[in-house]
Amino acid sequence: MDPLFQPIVINKSEIKNRFYMVTMHLNMCMNYEVSDRIVEFYAERAKGGCGAVCVGFCSINRIGSMPLNIGAHDDNYIPGLAKLAAGINDNGGFSIAQINHTGRNGYSMALPKGESPVAPSAVPSRLTGDTPRELTHDEILQIIDDFAQAARRLREAGFGGVEILCGTGYLISNFLTPFTNLRDDEWGGSEENRMRFGIEVFKAVRNICGDDYPIIGRLNGNDMLENGLRGDDLRRFAKALEGAGADAFCINVGWHEARIPQITMGVPRANFAYLARGMKQALTKPVIASHRINDVDDMRMLLEEGFCDMIGTGRGLIADPQMPLKALQDREEEIIHCIACGQGCFDHVFTLQPVECMVNPEAGHEFEGAIVEADEKKKLAVVGGGPAGMAAAMAARKRGHDVTLFERSEMVGGQLWLAGAPPGREEFLEMIYDYETQLAVLDVDVKTNIEVSATDLEAGGFDAVILATGGEPIAPPIPGADNPNVIQAWDFLEGFEPVDHNVVIVGGGAVGVETALAIAEIGTMPAETIKFLLIEKAEAPDTLRELAMKGSKNVTLVEMLPRIGKDIGKSTRWTMMKDLSEYGVDVRVKQKVLEINAAGVVLETESGKETIPADTVVLAIGTKPYNPLEEALKESSMEVKVVGDANKIATAFEAVHSGYRAGRSL
């Protein structure tokens, strides 16, 4: 039997399969009130076959939360919570709600006037910049009761279980970790005292919810901080929580302020599953692995090899809520994978917008209703097979239209091929393969190696045309830009042009940064060699790390603005800036390129002119719309829509969503 679809018992509750949807900030509530948007979002994941669906986080009091979270700190929120629980339960899922207190990660600006974040000690947060107020003994006892009362409300609302967040830099982990807990009373100092707060929270929740009610602890397997806790420390805490009433453990990784990437595309799939295995070996209760697990083959392997008892996935189910159902029905090739781009989920969280998804433009919009067939079926041409064109074709086909997609190159994908070229960015290629499969399943007629003209479209008998012809690189008016040693970043990323030893990249936007990292990777020691040398103890770990990051090219990245990567989302940008530094890329900002000549690239700097030697100069100045057909179709009787970069240069997220909206509107 497929291990993914074996039932599992937590406490005395049976869950139908091994899929566990982990909590994520969704920003879908206003003033703590459950909205139709969040109800329908989670209901769709239950309909898609997920065994356990955990919502959250849910507030235990106002100081430890913010109004965009789900409210559970007052009985007045129970009716809304009941609606949310029913949306999961009535659609075949087992509903769980996470309760949490932000601790020192709270933002003062989100709190009631005059209030500040609270924590065991007044240690400033590197995440928010705020310094929390130290809690008194009586306040600590009140917060423990607040956890219990929130759990009671969730049980009364119909949730099948609760999850208590114990990691990530929130309150329980603030008590547990020595560098944020400087107390010398019964709540701090020794490990026993630092564990006390979390243990008392679990005891209080168990006492109020009863012996048969499932309680899950979500805690770190590694804080990923220089002065944080690691395996043995956290396993001892988990054992203590097991004794205090925990029925299962969902294993998290890292604090939010950790400077080790945890969720971005460069993190290998299932990279942190080893932490769950370490917990499972130490505990008797079920263990749930999580973080960057988005492929059902990986999920099966983790279950079969004893890493865990359930699979936690969050963004994987944002990307495709039907992932479990497709796996059950032997339709795994139809799964749309999360590519860890962060553009619609984490980047939206940082800007306080509701969560959406790049690869699934329906995510976050379930409350608007599913696509329905159009009353009048049309014959539609989509010109351009990049992300906007593919999304437009899929949405229009779901409306029942007869869709033909024309792509002038050999393959669909457009600029996704460029985005997926640098090492660590290969997930963009997964999106191409997934979308190709969807086009085939939906029976879209895809024609490649065809550059259609306005005349072709008019002669084809089409009722409507969506132009998704994309963009093209800008050729800058720089003297020497047409020299033989000057190439476009696009040509390098597509594999058409090699580079020599000294490389200067002109332009520090997303394409420039990605190109710099791709070139810096050339000549580094491959992973299998690193592993061999590490196992054989042939080199010291520090030497191996240097060899893993020391390439054969000298790379300089030049940007005339004060900041590079301005068009890269916040959740990803910091990791790419870190990589530029560690790979030794020389980043120059506020420097203008005056000329490219035989000696190199001439810059205008704050201290005067400077020439950087350059064997190869790579231009990454930017992109401009490529839209040769709109004007020619002006007098046509066909309905014409322009989407993606052909209309306005934007992100891949915006391209997909603009294409989807255009296809759905027909």
Dump the DSSP string for 63-97. Answer: TTS-TTSBP-SSGGGHHHHHHHHHHHHTTTPEEEE
SS3 track for 110-168: HCCCCCCCEECCCCCCCCCCCCCEECCHHHHHHHHHHHHHHHHHHHHHCCCEEEEECCC
pLDDT of res. 580: 94
Q: Is residue 128 over pLDDT 90?
A: no
According to DSSP, the β-strands at 600-605 and 608-612 are: antiparallel
CA angle 500, 413, 666 (to 5 degrees): 150
Asked if residue 246 lies in contact with residue 216, where contact means CB atoms within 8 angstroms, the answer is: yes
Which of residues 142 and 606 earns the better pLDDT score? 142
Label residue 109 by pLDDT band (50, 70, 90). confident
CA trace torsion 575, 581, 583, 584 (10° rounding): 160
Q: Is residue 126 over pLDDT 90?
A: no
What are the pLDDT digits (tens) for 250-271?
999 999 888 888 989 989 999 9
What are the pLDDT digits (tens) for 269-300?
999 999 999 999 999 999 999 999 999 999 99
Asked if residue 134 lies in contact with residue 119, where contact means CB atoms within 8 angstroms, the answer is: yes
Label residue 397 by pLDDT band (50, 70, 90). very high
What are the pLDDT digits (tens) for 186-235?
999 999 999 999 999 999 999 999 999 999 999 999 999 988 999 999 99
**What is the set of domains in the chain, with CATH numbers?**
3-368 (3.20.20.70), 379-470+625-665 (3.40.50.720), 486-621 (3.50.50.60)
Q: Residue 232 to residues 174, 195, 282, 334: CA-CA distances in angstroms?
A: 18, 14, 9, 40
Give which of 81, 347, 100 is closest to 355, Cα–Cα: 347
Label residue 127 by pLDDT band (50, 70, 90). confident
pLDDT of res. 107: 85
Q: Is residue 108 over pLDDT 90?
A: no
Within 13 Å, how many C-alpha atoms sit on residue 592's CB side? 9
Q: What DSSP assignment string belongs to 161-219?
A: EEEEE--TTSHHHHHHSTTT----STTSSSHHHHHHHHHHHHHHHHHHH-TTS-EEEEE
> In whole angstroms, how large is the CA radius of gyration of the chain?
27
Q: Say how many residues make up the chain.
A: 666
Span 495-514, average pLDDT: 94
Q: Is residue 482 over pLDDT 90?
A: yes
Q: Is residue 570 over pLDDT 90?
A: no
- The number of beta carbons lying within 10 Å of the beta carbon of residue 86 is 15
DSSP, collapsed to helix, strand or coil, labels residue 406 as: strand
- The number of beta carbons lying within 10 Å of the beta carbon of residue 409 is 16
Task: Report the percent of the chain where pLDDT is more than 70.
Answer: 100
Give which of 509, 488, 600 is closest to 559, Cα–Cα: 509
Q: How many angstroms separate the CA atoms of 245 and 233, rounded?
A: 19
Span 451-480, average pLDDT: 95
**In whole numbers, what is the pLDDT of the chain averaged over residues?**
95
pLDDT of res. 606: 87
pLDDT of res. 399: 96
pLDDT of res. 357: 97
Q: Is residue 113 over pLDDT 90?
A: no
Label residue 161 by pLDDT band (50, 70, 90). very high
DSSP, collapsed to helix, strand or coil, labels residue 352 as: coil
Q: How many angstroms separate the CA atoms of 607 and 101, rounded?
A: 51
pLDDT of res. 536: 95
Q: How many angstroms separate the CA atoms of 6 and 407, rounded?
A: 44
Q: Is residue 39 over pLDDT 90?
A: yes
User: Residue holding tokens 């601790």?
Assistant: 103
Q: Is residue 349 over pLDDT 90?
A: no
Asked if residue 195 lies in contact with residue 126, where contact means CB atoms within 8 angstroms, the answer is: no
Q: How many angstroms separate the CA atoms of 36 and 10, rounded?
A: 29
Q: How many angstroms separate the CA atoms of 560 and 588, rounded?
A: 8
Q: pTM for this one?
A: 0.94
DSSP, collapsed to helix, strand or coil, labels residue 423 as: coil
Q: Residue 87 to residues 46, 55, 375, 536: CA-CA distances in angstroms?
A: 8, 11, 30, 54
Sheet with strand 554-559: strands edge to edge? 486-488, 616-619, 502-506, 554-559, 586-589
Label residue 129 by pLDDT band (50, 70, 90). confident
Give which of 279, 259, 157, 263 is closest to 217, Cα–Cα: 279
Asked if residue 64 lies in contact with residue 103, where contact means CB atoms within 8 angstroms, the answer is: yes
Task: Report the percent of the chain where pLDDT is more than 90.
Answer: 91
What are the pLDDT digits (tens) for 52-91?
999 999 999 999 999 999 999 999 999 999 999 999 999 9
